[in-house]
């Protein structure tokens, strides 16, 4: 299932991770593991935030993906199922059948 991962990082923890060089490593390792369709980095409500779209094969992946962000960055994490245009069209084509 295609999902959107939102990771909002605690400012102090992220500042510390930037200073000691671990933020770049964490993001790089996470992206290699997740193999995202797209990844965007911005701010949301004053916090460094990553938006990552990827294919989640099974729910057991959630702790594997989330824990490094929780443990190292005290991040707030959310997962939201999402669709691309092809998915929407496929779903809409099934209505009324």
- The token duo for 63 is 């702790």
Residue 26: predicted pLDDT = 96
Which residues of the chain have a pLDDT value below 50? none
Supply the pLDDT for residue 29. 96
Looking at residue 96, its pLDDT comes to 74
- Evaluated on CA atoms 49, 37, 70, 30, the torsion sign reads negative
- pTM equals 0.90
Cα atoms in the 13 Å half-sphere on the side-chain side of 22: 11
């Amino acid at each position: 299932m295609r999902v959107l991962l939102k990771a909002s990082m605690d400012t102090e923890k992220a500042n510390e991770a930037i200073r000691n060089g671990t933020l770049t490593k964490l993001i790089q390792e996470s992206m290699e593991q997740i193999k995202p369709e797209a990844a965007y980095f911005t701010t949301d409500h004053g916090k460094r935030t990553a938006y990552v779209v990827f294919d989640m094969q099974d729910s057991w992946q959630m702790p594997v993906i989330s824990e490094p962000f929780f443990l190292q960055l005290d991040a707030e994490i959310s997962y939201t199922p999402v669709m691309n245009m092809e998915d929407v069209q496929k779903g809409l084509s099934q209505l009324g059948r």
